[in-house]
Amino acid sequence: MTTAPATAAPTTTAAGTARAVVTGVGVLAPNGIGAEEYWAATLRGESGIARITRFDPSSYPSRLAGEVTGFSVRDHIPSRLVPQTDRTTQFALAGADWALADAGLNAESLPADERGVVTASASGGFEFGQRELGHLWGKDPKHVSAYMSFAWFYAVNSGQVSIRHDLRGPTGVLVTDQAGGLDAVAQARRRIRKGTPLMLTGGMDASLCPYGLAAQISAGILSESEDPARAYLPFDAAANGHVPGEGGAILALEDADRARERGARIHGAIGGYAATFDPRPGSGRPANLERAVRGALADAGLRPGDIAFVLADGAGEPEPDRVEAQALTAVFGPGGVPVSVPKTMTGRLYSGAAPLDLVTALFALRDGVVPPTVHVEETTGHDLDLVTGAPRPVTGDAALVLARGRGGFNSAMVVRGPSAP
């Protein structure tokens, strides 16, 4: 089979004309708990990357992470749910509560089968799994929590959010590493277009425990730098891997007409999306990120010149950085669009990263300013207009968010601002 034309949309969006708008956001990030707190810290260029404090990392080759600090479980999660949830699920439950509150919705505002939840997960409940595997290995099967049956599982965030808010409409989970954060939102958008008025979506990951860190180290792409300002440098000549983080965002997605009817405040809209898959390593064929970018633009009905800025995936490794920069240059021209990687302030949050970037993009369109890629100074070799040093004013009502996952996943999503037509 031959390569498809570069202009083709590789993934078609489901039938239906309803627009999916974001009416609520809930954020837990290493540099801020709560959406506006995160946004303010991000505009100040505050990084949440530091030496790991949740356990002693001194025997590990990678010792830095973006930890969410100051999250008091007992303040946000019902006591009944604490013993049966991993930290990632506690984040998802809090994020869902905040997204619904931000949207001005409560659980009873719609029939239960008219609201659903689709989240992404990259790792499931690692810390819970580590503890219970410790019980199994160190004691006996009787000491393993009955809740282990689901608390570790990828779908657990969607499941617990569904139970807590009685969401009986479409429900599911996407597991495509970091790209999953966009894939889940795209699936929620499909369900809106097929007639479900309200979907909670997004993603949270939190696996900064010894077991989780060991699994991430085994991938061979974590930075081993001890310096929080030099450890995660996407597109920099000194790029040497990434720093892991925890957290993410949950979004309340609604049918635009329904949202307007009830007088909801609208953060913006999901304008377009496409996903592609890379050829197997060693095939000699090029990566497919460019096709995802073009597909998302086509789905949104926009041209490259309509995009105010791009929030890049920013792997922080030379080859993936080169591929991403080439794709952007091919579509937008050399230095043709402002590009930033705010996740330099949080580390890579896996399934939580792209939903957080969507929130960043919505607020950036709202306020007309793009936060910087912190710590990066030297981008020699890439023809990118990387926003570094300080926030940059922008004008426009559309932005592009990219997310790539290990194993060949490429996803691209166009976000429209609150005033977009």
Partner 1 sequence: MSAFTTEDLFQIMRECAGEEEAVDLSSAAAEQEFGLLGYDSLALMEAISRVERGYGIALPEETLGEALTPAAFVAVVNAALADRMPAAGAA
Q: Tell me the closest approach of the beta carbon of residue 320 to partner 1, in angstroms.
A: 42
- Give the nearest distance from C-beta 80 to partner 1 in angstroms: 4
195 binds partner 1 (CB under 8 A): no
Gap between the Cα atoms of 190 and 188, Å rounded: 5
User: Judged by CB, which is closer to partner 1: 77, or 275?
Assistant: 77
Count of residues of this chain found to bind partner 1 when the rule CB under 8 A is applied: 13
Could you say which residues in the range 118-157 bind partner 1, by CB under 8 A? 142-143, 145-147, 149
By CB neighbour count within 10 A (0-12 exposed, 13-18 middle, 19+ buried), where does 130 fall? middle
Q: How far is the CB of 126 from partner 1 (least distance, A)?
A: 20
Q: Which is nearer to partner 1, 101 or 146 (CB)?
A: 146
Locate 235 and state its tokens: 């597109």
Residue 72 vs 79, nearer CB to partner 1: 79
Beta carbon nearer to partner 1, 58 or 79? 79
State how far the Cα of 373 lies from the Cα of 229, in Å rounded to an integer.
11
Interacting positions 59-88 with partner 1 (CB under 8 A): 78-84
| Rg of the chain taking only CA atoms, in angstroms | 20
- The two tokens of residue 313 are 């995936």
Beta strands in 99-168, from DSSP E residues, in sequence order: 115-120
What residues contact residue 283 under an 8 Å CB cut-off, 6+ apart?
Answer: none
Say whether 97 sits in a helix, a strand or coil. Answer: helix
Beta bridge partners of 311: 340, 401
What's the min distance (Å) between Cβ of 205 and partner 1? 24
Q: Considering the complex, state which of residue 142 and residue 280 has its C-beta at the smaller distance from partner 1.
A: 142
- What tokens were used for 140? 């006996």
Residue 8 or 82 with smaller CB distance to partner 1 = 82
Rounded least distance, CB 269 to partner 1, Å: 37
As a whole number of angstroms, the distance between CA 229 and CA 210 comes to 23
Q: Which residues bind partner 1 (CB under 8 A)?
A: 78-84, 142-143, 145-147, 149
